[in-house]
Amino acid sequence: MKPFTIGILALQGCIDPHRPHVEALDIKFKEVKTAKHLEEVDAYILPGGESTTMLRLIKIFGLKEILAMEFAKKPVWGICAGAILMASKVTNPKQESFSLLDFEIERNSYGGQLQSTEIDIKDYPVSFIRAPIINKVSDDIEVVSKYKNTPVWLKTPQYMVTTFHPELTKTYPSQMHKEFGELIAAYYEKG
């Protein structure tokens, strides 16, 4: 069988650290910046970075519609800023999103860099960096894990959301990349 390809939205943010995690799963890793790059991509990672910058670039390069069409039919994993792009409602401040999943998210709500922290989730060290907080989650979404009583990892058969970063940890692949790989395989197996 042809290996899957994960396209990472590479307009801005934390891109390269994902490569060894993805390649350790025998999945191809591809940077996506233009409509042409979307060909042959089976699933997407929306990386950490600044969500305001990503939104602005998506808009000026005219990618919003085509990305929305792709995200509707393929698996997507949003991390931190990427999670913000997937939410149905964004606060602090209010901003646009692709609204892929029914949950509400508040930007930078732990505070600034002084509140950035590292914890273990499923025995894998991950970091929260100026992370957003998920406030409300629709009942049909699985909450995989919580931190300080709020959801930090969400899953459905098509989508995954984490407000923390597993990609900065240098043990490959991370538990979260592994589970996203499994999600992709199951999604296409079901057809």
Partner 1 sequence: MTETKINLKTGLAEMLKRGVIMDVVTPEQAKIAEDAGAVAVMALEKVPSDIRKDGGVARMSNPEMIQKIMEVSSIPVMAKCRIGHFVEAQVLQEIGVDYIDESEVLTPADNAHHINKHDFKIPFVCGATNLGEALRRIGEGAALIRTKGEPGTGNIVEAVKHMRSINQEIKRIASLETDELMAEAKVLGAPYSLLKVIKETGKLPVPNFAAGGVSTPADAALVMQLGAETVFVGSGIFKSENPEAFAKAIVKAVAHYDDPKEVLEASKNLPSPMKGIEIPTLSPAEKMADRGW
Collect all residues with Cβ–Cβ distance below 8 Å to 60 and sequence separation of at least 6. none
Is the sign of the CA dihedral 177, 67, 84, 60 positive or negative?
positive
CA distance 153 to 63: 27
Task: Show which residues are catalytic.
Answer: 80, 165, 167
Of 10 and 121, which CB lies nearer to partner 1 in the complex structure?
Answer: 10
Could you give phi then psi for residue 148, rounded to 5 degrees?
50, 45
In the complex, least distance from residue 138 CB atom to partner 1, rounded to whole angstroms? 25
- In the region spanning residues 109 to 168, those forming contacts with partner 1, defined by CB under 8 A, are 111-114, 116-118, 127, 129-130, 165, 168
Q: Which residues contact 14 (CB under 8 A, 6 or more apart)?
A: 47, 48, 49, 79, 165, 167, 168
Contact between 10 and partner 1 by CB under 8 A: the answer reads yes
Backbone angles phi, psi at 82, to 5 degrees: -65, -35
> Does 81 interact with partner 1 (rule: CB under 8 A)?
yes
- List the one residue from 21, 22, 48, 103 that touches partner 1 (CB under 8 A): 48
Q: Give the shortest CB-183-to-partner 1 separation in angstroms.
A: 24
Interacting residues toward partner 1 by CB under 8 A: 10-17, 33, 48-50, 52-53, 56-57, 60-61, 80-81, 92-93, 107-108, 111-114, 116-118, 127, 129-130, 165, 168-169
